[in-house]
Amino acid sequence: MTTTGTTPTGASPTPTAAAHGGPAHPPIRRSRLTKIVATLGPASTSPEMIRKLFETGVDVFRLNFSHGSHADHGARLKTLRELEADTGRPIAIMADLQGPKLRVATFANGPITLTAGQSFRLDLSKEPGDSTRVGMFHPEIFAALTPDTDLLLDDGRVRLRVVSCGPDHAETVVISGTKLSDRKGVNVPGVVLPLSPLTKKDREDLAFALEIGVDWVALSFVQRPEDVAEARRLIGGRASLLSKLEKPQAITHLAEIIELSDGIMVARGDLGVELPAEDVPTLQKRIVRESRRAGKPVIVATQMLESMVSAPAPTRAEASDVATAVYDGADAVMLSAETASGDYPLEAVSIMDRITRRVEHDPLYRTIMDAQHPDPQQTAADAITAAARQVAHTIQAAAIVTYTTSGSTTLRAARERPEQPILCLTSALETARRLQLVFGVHAVHTSDVANFSEMVQKATRAAHKDGIALEGQRLVITAGVPFGTPGNTNILRIAWVEAE
């Protein structure tokens, strides 16, 4: 029953294709459980390249609103929806908001040279900078500074320490770093800045993203639970919300932020600027573990195969980095510049797919997953879902089947990290799309069912058509009756797969 990561299997289109009026194409069945997120950009904007990325293994496509116009993102989304209709497979689309970008201003005569111990002033003046001062047009930063606060410029390449400060300036001393140029970024480690994660641009981008119908919204610069709550109010249930953990301040409120979010991204680039490098790996594991415990999908992102922006193969350290995220039990791993602007987008997806499949076939991987099952809550739904994983393992079932409207039954099954794929049947296309991000889920958009027997029949047929199971194999099926009640998982059944 195992297929390659790119080979279509099955005999007929899923109802998604028919619902969109697309031609008959066999569905693509991934042979791995961990998902791949890829960013679209100049290197991956044509319909031909987007199709190749999907066929090579991409499950979720990211639109990075830090770059590109609304017209660019709208065109890419349209291409993806046409691909979805043509292949009959739900495709998840994520809008990643830019968030506040804190930067110094420009210098009159180009880059400057700094010397450790010299004085350097930051202020609100619009005069071009020189070797003694530069503008920083962020009064919120000045309001939060105190003497002895450190400022990191240019991703930490320059470190300044505040000597004295006021509402419109900061006198600092250079601790380390030798060069500084125009518009380099500013980080203030250890300080909660009085800034909303949603700038005017972000609000406009969010409104556009929701209008064109993205499935996930990634929120940058999350510092507090209130930041997530603000975004949820604006989204209003029209997309799932993913919180990017890139500010150390967010870790103080990790449990609350996970609870308020639909998903989590470990954005290690900015975390690595504001935290000691040695803290990032253990923090990554903690975030993945806590997200899994809460049943929320979690992505490990940033610099995973960075060298492949300009090289056809990754470094061995990068391959190990991807593998570590999979061993940690992440739902997905992400490519950024590698597919957006790199020279080898297809190769990057291909090697990430191969690394992921290799790890999942390692006996140690299953040992780790089985040792880390979160304790089920004391509910019938959790008890049945935990039992479904055990039953599927004992009888060597081909898949665990969930029938869901909201996605909660499927998320609960994925939380168990079963060794079998999770075949999700749902009558809600938006749910099928959103669940493409989730570990192990093969979502099928199908018509509604009137009773449990009809659902079992649909499940066995879908499993056979999509190459999930062969004739004579068994499925473990969970659902909630009456249908349409979110989180009401109360039935477990074993069914045999029969060919039509």
pLDDT attached to residue 132: 97
Q: How far is CA 364 from CA 224, 406, 422, 455, 458, in A?
A: 37, 33, 21, 36, 35
Percentages of the chain per state (helix, strand, coil), in multiples of 5:
40, 20, 40
Q: One of 14, 39, 172, 302 is an active-site residue; which one?
A: 302
Which one of 30, 62, 357, 415 is the catalytic residue? 62
316-348, pLDDT tens digit by residue? 999 999 999 999 999 999 999 999 999 999 999
DSSP state of 307: G
Is 201 a catalytic site residue?
no
Cα separations in angstroms, 30 against 114, 330, 440: 52, 17, 9
**Model pLDDT, residue 487:** 64
At 452, the pLDDT band (50, 70, 90 cuts) reads confident
Q: pLDDT per residue over 196-220, tens digit each? A: 999 999 999 999 999 999 999 999 9
For residue 499, what pLDDT is reported? 66
302 in catalytic set: yes
Q: Which of 51, 81, 103, 493 is catalytic?
A: 103
CA distances from 99 to 144, 207, 220, 271, 325 (A): 18, 14, 5, 15, 25
Q: What is the mean pLDDT of residues 170-192?
A: 94
Residue 378, pLDDT > 90, answer no
Catalytic residue among 35, 133, 244, 465: 244
In the chain, the domains with their CATH numbers are: 32-99+196-370 (3.20.20.60), 112-187 (2.40.33.10), 380-496 (3.40.1380.20)
**What does the pLDDT read at residue 19?**
39
Cβ 488 vs Cβ 470: under 8 Å: no
Rg (CA), the chain: 24
Q: Which range has the worst mean pLDDT, 4-8, 237-241, 446-450?
A: 4-8
Task: Compute the distance between CA of residue 243 and CA of residue 250 in angstroms, rounded to an integer.
Answer: 10
- Rounded alpha-carbon distances, angstroms, from residue 303 to 256, 266, 321, 333, 435: 27, 12, 9, 11, 25
Mean pLDDT confidence for 440-454 = 92
**pLDDT of 146 higher than 90:** yes
Q: Is the pLDDT of residue 11 over 50?
A: no
The mean predicted confidence, pLDDT, of the chain is 92
Among 439, 444, 441, 90, smallest CA distance to 264 is for 439
Q: Are 490 and 481 in contact (CB under 8 A)?
A: yes
Model pLDDT, residue 498: 79
Residue scoring higher pLDDT (150 or 29): 150
Instruction: Supply the pLDDT for residue 27.
Output: 63
pLDDT at position 377 is 81
Angle of helix 47-56 versus helix 345-360 axis, rounded to 10: 10
> Please, how many CA atoms are within 13 Å of residue 342, restricted to the half-sphere of its CB?
25
Nearest to 327 by CA among 265, 281, 277, 387: 281
CA distance 210 to 78: 14
The answer to whether residues 409 and 418 touch, using CB atoms and an 8 Å cutoff, is: no
Q: What is the pLDDT, as a whole number, of residue 420?
A: 97
- Residue 271 pLDDT: 85
**What's the rounded mean pLDDT across residues 180-191?**
93
Neighbour-count burial for 260-287, b at 16+ CB within 10 Å, e otherwise = bbbbbbbbbebbbbbbeeeebeebbbeb
The residues near 30 (Cβ < 8 Å, ≥ 6 apart) are 5, 57, 59, 442
- Of the ranges 72-76, 269-273, 442-446, which one carries the lowest mean pLDDT score? 269-273
Could you tell me where the beta strands, DSSP code E, fall in 431-498? Answer: 441-445, 474-479, 491-496
Show the 3-state SS of 12-77.
CCCHHHHHHCCCCCCCECCCCCCEEEEEECHHHCCHHHHHHHHHHCCCEEEEECCCCCHHHHHHHH
Per-residue pLDDT, 390: 95
| The predicted structure's pLDDT at residue 449 | 86
- Give residue 95's identity as a one-letter amino acid code: A
Please report the pLDDT score of residue 26 as a whole number. 55
- What does the alpha-carbon distance between residue 152 and residue 156 come to, in Å, rounded to a whole number? 5
Contacts of 476 (CB under 8 A, 6+ apart): 388, 391, 392, 395, 397, 399, 400, 401, 420, 492, 493, 494
pLDDT at 265: 98
- Per the document, the length of the chain is 500
Q: How far apart are CA 109 and CA 127, in angstroms?
A: 12
Active site residue 244: yes
At residue 481, φ and ψ (nearest 5 deg) are -120, 130
Average pLDDT of 58-62?
Answer: 98
Q: Both tokens of residue 173?
A: 């001393």
Cα distances from 499 to residues 10, 63, 459, in angstroms, run: 12, 40, 12
pLDDT of 340 reads 97
Give residue 29's pLDDT: 85
Question: Against a cut of 0.95, is the pTM above it?
Answer: no
pLDDT at residue 292 in the model: 95
Looking at residue 217, what is its pLDDT? Answer: 98
In this predicted structure, the answer to whether residue 15 has a pLDDT above a threshold of 80 is no
In the residue annotation, 2 being an active-site residue is answered as no
pLDDT over 70, % of the chain: 93
Burial 21-57 (b: 16+ CB within 10 A, else e): ebeebbbbbbbbbbbbbbbbbebbeeeebbbbbbbbb
pLDDT band, residue 187 (cuts 50/70/90):
very high
The stretch 95-110 carries a mean pLDDT of 96
pLDDT beyond 80 at 6: no
pLDDT at 165 over 60: yes
